[in-house]
Structure 1
Amino acid sequence: MNAKPPQTWKCEHTLKEHTASVNAVAIDPQGNILASGSDDRTVSLWDLKTGKRIFTFFGLLNAVFSVAFNPRTPFLVSGDFDNTITCWNLDTNAVRSFSGRSGTNNAHSSSIFSVAFTSDGENLASGSADQTIKIWNIPRWVSTRTLRGHTDTVWSIAISPDGQILASASADKTIRIWPLNSWDEPRILIGHSGWVTSVAIGHNGQILASASQDSTIKLWNLNTLKLLCTLSGHSAAVWSVVFSPNRQLLGSAGKDGVKLWNLSTGELLHTLSGRHPIAFSPDGKTLVTGGDGTNIKIWRQYVPATESAPNPVLSGEWYSILCVDKLASPEEVKLAYRRLIKQYHPDINRAANAKDIMQAINEAYAKFEEGARGEF
């Protein structure tokens, strides 16, 4: 029996509306909308399926370094170079500033490089070049807590799925693990030899991934704080790291490209022609990355055709062509048709005769539908 062809990724859209470097991307919880933040002082919304731009928010005073969707309400926030957290209501396009300018009570005093919501959408965390992390209560729009301990810029933050833990990555070369339900001191992870630029927590809340200027990615056990493994494959600083929702892949990105790793084995599976930033869709089948700096790339997961894949029968009865029994139920026939489309559509299958195969499949299915209608 032939082995199942490996899954790979194909760039389906390249988005070119931004006029300066794209620093951040995020996908909404439904997997329909992509948000991007740029040095051009805008935040844009895109249709993730078509790649068409939906809307652009103007009026920001400086570059945007991070964006995040609220998981429960139609809010999008950005962390900006001018120390501000800006919030947009996506239903009304109303804008609100969280922290205001430097000097405002509880405001960050320097650029904000990372923002992240708790899973209930009630709280927002922000990490800043002022070496602090702030926790904001969304319903009351106030800062409720400031986490101090880092001695240099906080580049990235991540919150566990249960909302109990916050991890932060800093230019002081450390990772700090903060308990959000108590005032205990953070636990400190040391292992990278350069800035720690990005952190992500796995969807089971048990594994932490960290990326660094030292060109490595490290995986840590969040319960024991033990280092599990170090992934080496990048040739330059790694600026972002993200887990796939299916818990099978880890994505990492820097200026030298995007890499996808097998979480179980640590094996490097794919290198893509993208760059930082990076985000997975909720179903794990779409990947968004930076392009050449001003562009954004949307990648789709697919199974490439193989030379050994058998071709279906191209002539004969419809059920022979669709590889089903003559007495198969309509639902079984539809499922078989869908499977064949996924395998032999010319956009996916690169074989020279893929177009002829697909034509035969479509004609066979049309004959099935004609026969099914004749029964009524």
Structure 2
Amino acid sequence: MADENDSKFYLEHEEILDDSDDDFKYEEVPVDEELVEPDFDEDLDIAVRTIQEAEQDIKASLQKDGKEKAPVTARPEVIDDFVRNFLVKMGMGRTLDCFQTEWYELQQKGQLKEEDVGVVPDIYTRNQQLDTQVKYLRQDVDKFRDAAMKAKDTYVKLRKERDYHRMHHKRVVQEKNKLITDIKRLKKHYAAYEPTLKQLKVKYEAAMKEKMLTKLERDRAVGQVSGLQNTLKTMGDSANYTSGALNASTTRMCQKGRYELLDEEGRGPTQRSIYESRQKAMLESQKDVTQQPMPRHPDDTEFPPDTGVNPYLSQVKAPPGHLTRTGGFRLTHTFQAHSQPVSNLALHPRKQILATTSDDHTWKMWSIPSGEIIMTGEGHTDWVADCAFHPTGSRLATVSGDSTAKIWDFSKAECVHTFEDHTHAVWGCSWHSCGDFLATCSLDNTSKVWDLNSLRCRYTLRGHADSVNSIEFLPFSNTLCTCSADKTLSLWDARTGLCAQTFYGHMHSVNHVTFNLRGDTVASCDSYGIIKLWDVRTVAPMTSLDVGPHPANRVAFDPSGSIVAVASNDGSVKMYEVASGQVTSLVGHEDAAQSTIFDRNGEFLVSGGSDCTVRIWS
């Protein structure tokens, strides 16, 4: 017993746990003497009250901490239970039976003291808990050891992959540097060939130009020989020869640098005296110009020689038979182009691309016949009246009610220049076949010829007494044709800015004028629906057609010149067959038809109207 008491005294004064490595402060559990008394005489009410007070204390502590915790009550273990648990744990069943028999006998006899039946000292309970904890910690250590081994294997694997990728990266960098060096060497090598290629290109272009000029000169010489032979055959005597030469004259490029378009009697549409006085004034003005030449801009472009040969004439074919009959065209495609009326149309010279202008201040490019939009141009501050593709198809010219003409470059997708010399709205524009000159007409009663190289106005065409509504270059020529609200049409020489001839016959404002592809016929339309065809050689009307009373807004020749399309304000497109005089109507627009145009092959017709749509007829 002495040894047991000594061990108890030692356990009670043990302080090692407070200074352990885990820094866990253990609280001493007080021994409730009432709990270890052998007899319990508490009644039910006291027990219930005690339990309720304990629950309230637990709830109060949880509310104070701000979070709910599961209530755990630790009760100290008595000695006999501790011994029983130990024997059960060790599997000593017979010893347990003997212990219980002897323990109960001593307890009945009252030989057990109060300290013998008390709770087990804390050190034993703590030792048991530590033993259990050590057991679990050993399991955790084994688990963590396995995880550490797996992590080590993974680390080794990742390090090997890193080394592999690092080596691969170095090899790629070396290859990249080698390729960069090769590219630089190739660039240097190609740069050495660049001057040679440029020289070869210049020589090739010069050779092609000389070849074309030679071909044109040959064709012109052949034409002149044929004309002289025909003239000699019809010549009877010198008087007849003089009269025949005068009647057959379509005199081009006279020595004074302009067209002299005469009628059968050698006079213009006015009296001979008026023509002679006009010619005299023209000669005097030219003398003044030769005596005092106008200053030239260093970037001014020379007008190409006027050979009068159109290379596209050899490609013109007669339209198919079904297109010359009534109702030959049918509506095949319709698409909404703008939010406001479509004012004009233009077809790309080489591709199936359509340009449209509108009162909504924009122009757009479309793929036809699908109607898929390609590009939208915004920059004008008022309605856009007309547009025209550059002969190469790389640029677009637009004119607007804001008194400007703009040049748009498709490669840069922007406006590259704006011409602002007009003082009022600009109605129409047309490119010279060489692509270096642009002609525009305006509400300010004038037309202008712009040089795209010097970016300045070369000539201002003055002569109309009212708004100039339309302007067009004769294909592959320096001749311009304009129509005006003063009821006249005029032919101009773009090289001098002088009026060569005036057509009289319309009784109302002329809205539009156009050449056929051959250049020998002009079609015009006015605000009362009157269509006139003019012979350029005789300066006389060939035929007149009334498709009114609605205004005719625009006319267009098909490539063969046998069909004339008229965009009418009644919403239809009139088809006039020149040979038969038959007129049919293509009905489809819900509002006025503002513009119409044939494609270069004459296979389909495009029209645009105030109903904001574009319609394709084929």
Whether these two folds match at TM > 0.5 is yes
Report the Cα distance in structure 2 between the residues aligned to 1:25 and 1:229, rounded to whole angstroms. Answer: 26
Q: Does 1:14 align with 2:334?
A: yes
Structure with more of its chain in strand, by fraction = 1
Aligned counterpart, 2:460: 146
Aligned counterpart, 1:64: 384
2:370 pairs with 50, 62, 65, which one? 50
Identity of aligned residues (%): 28
Aligned counterpart, 2:361: 41
Give the superposition deviation at 1:22.
0.8
Q: State the AA in 2 paired with 1:266.
A: G
2:449–2:494 CA contact under 8 A, matched in 1: no
2:461–2:498 CA contact under 8 A, matched in 1: no
Aligned counterpart, 1:25: 345
**Bigger radius of gyration among the two:** 2
Give the superposition deviation at 1:185.
3.3
Q: State the AA in 1 paired with 2:558.
A: S
Q: State the AA in 2 paired with 1:295.
A: T
Aligned counterpart, 2:267: none
Q: Does 1:203 align with 2:512?
A: no
Give the superposition deviation at 1:240.
0.4
Higher mean C-alpha displacement, 208-217 vs 274-283? 274-283
1:281 pairs with 594, 599, 603, which one? 599
1:10-35 CA-to-partner distances (Å, cap 9, x unmatched) read 22222214111111110010141100
1:258–1:276 CA contact under 8 A, matched in 2: no
Aligned counterpart, 1:272: 587
1:258-312 CA-to-partner distances (Å, cap 9, x unmatched) read 1111122332144333412111111111211124531111222xxxxxxxxxxxx
Q: State the AA in 2 paired with 1:238.
A: A
Q: How does 1:164-175 map to 2 (within 5 A)?
A: 164-175=478-489
Q: How does 1:1-376 map to 2 (within 5 A)?
A: 5=322, 6=325, 8-100=328-420, 107-256=421-570, 257-274=572-589, 275-300=593-618
Structure with more of its chain in helix, by fraction = 2
Report the Cα distance in structure 1 between the residues aligned to 2:415 and 2:355, rounded to whole angstroms. Answer: 16
Report the Cα distance in structure 1 between the residues aligned to 2:482 and 2:521, rounded to whole angstroms. Answer: 14
Q: State the AA in 1 paired with 2:364.
A: S
Aligned counterpart, 2:243: none
1:98–1:141 CA contact under 8 A, matched in 2: no
Report the Cα distance in structure 1 between the residues aligned to 2:337 and 2:516, rounded to whole angstroms. Answer: 32
Report the Cα distance in structure 2 between the residues aligned to 1:65 and 1:183, rounded to whole angstroms. Answer: 24
Report the Cα distance in structure 1 between the residues aligned to 2:337 and 2:369, rounded to whole angstroms. Answer: 17
Report the Cα distance in structure 2 between the residues aligned to 1:35 and 1:144, rounded to whole angstroms. Answer: 27
Structure 1 23/120 Cα, relative in aligned 2: closer, same or farther at 3 Å? same
Q: State the AA in 2 paired with 1:174.
A: T
1:314-358 CA-to-partner distances (Å, cap 9, x unmatched) read xxxxxxxxxxxxxxxxxxxxxxxxxxxxxxxxxxxxxxxxxxxxx
Give the superposition deviation at 1:142.
1.6
Report the Cα distance in structure 2 between the residues aligned to 1:291 and 1:142, rounded to whole angstroms. Answer: 34
Secondary structure at 1:155 match in 2: strand
Structure 1 150/248 Cα, relative in aligned 2: closer, same or farther at 3 Å? same
Higher mean C-alpha displacement, 244-253 vs 285-294? 285-294
Unmatched 5+ stretches in structure 1: 101-106, 301-376
1:95-116 CA-to-partner distances (Å, cap 9, x unmatched) read 133313xxxxxx0001000000
2:343–2:609 CA contact under 8 A, matched in 1: no
1:179-214 CA-to-partner distances (Å, cap 9, x unmatched) read 224454331111111100000011001000010012
Aligned counterpart, 2:273: none
Report the Cα distance in structure 2 between the residues aligned to 1:92 and 1:286, rounded to whole angstroms. Answer: 31
Q: State the AA in 2 paired with 1:43.
A: W
TM-score, with length taken from structure 1:
0.74
Aligned counterpart, 2:297: none
Where in structure 1 do 4 or more consecutive aligned residues deviate above 4 Å? none
> Larger relative CO (CA 8 A, sep 6+): 1 or 2?
1
